[in-house]
Structure 1
Amino acid sequence: MFSAFTRLSLVTRIVIAIILGVLVAVVTPQYAPYLTILGDLFIKALKSVAPILVFVLVLSSIANFKVGSSNAYIKPIMLMYAAGMFLAALSAVIASIIFPSTLFLDLPAQGELTPPGSLTEIFRNLLLSFIANPVTAIAEANFIGILAWSVALGIAFRHASDTTKGVLNDAANAVNAVIRLVISFAPFGIFGLVAVTFADAGLNTLMSYAQLLTVLLGTMLFVALVINPIMVGFVTRANPYPLVLQCLRESGITAFFTRSSAANIPVNLDLAKRLGVPESTASVAIPLGAAINMAGASVTITVLSLAAVNTLGIPVSFTTMLILSVVATVSACGASGVAGGSLLLIPVACGLFGISSDIAMQVVAIGMVISVLQDSTETALNSSTDVLFTAAVDRGMR
Structure 2
Amino acid sequence: MGVGSALWRSIAVYRFLALLYAGVLIVWNQDKYERPYAAWIVLAGMALWTGYATLAYGGGRKQRWPLLIADLAVAAASVLATSWVETSSGIAQGRPTIPVAWVVAALLAWAVSGGRRLGLLAAAVIGAADMVVHVLNASAPGPVTFSNIVLLFLTGLVVGHVVRMAVDAEARLARAVELEASTRERERLARDIHDSVLQVLAMVQRRGAEAGGEAAELGRLAGEQEAALRTLITGAPVPRPRPPRGRRHALALETPASGGGAPPPGEPDLRARLTVLASARVSVATPATPVLLPGHVVDELTAAVEAALANVRAHAGEDARAWVLLEDDGADEVIVSVRDDGPGIPPGRLEIAEADGRLGVAQSIRGRLRDLGGTVAIHSTPGEGTELELTVRRAAP
* TM-score under structure 2 length normalisation: 0.20
Higher strand share: 2
Which protein has the larger Cα radius of gyration, Structure 1 or Structure 2?
2
* TM-score under structure 1 length normalisation: 0.20
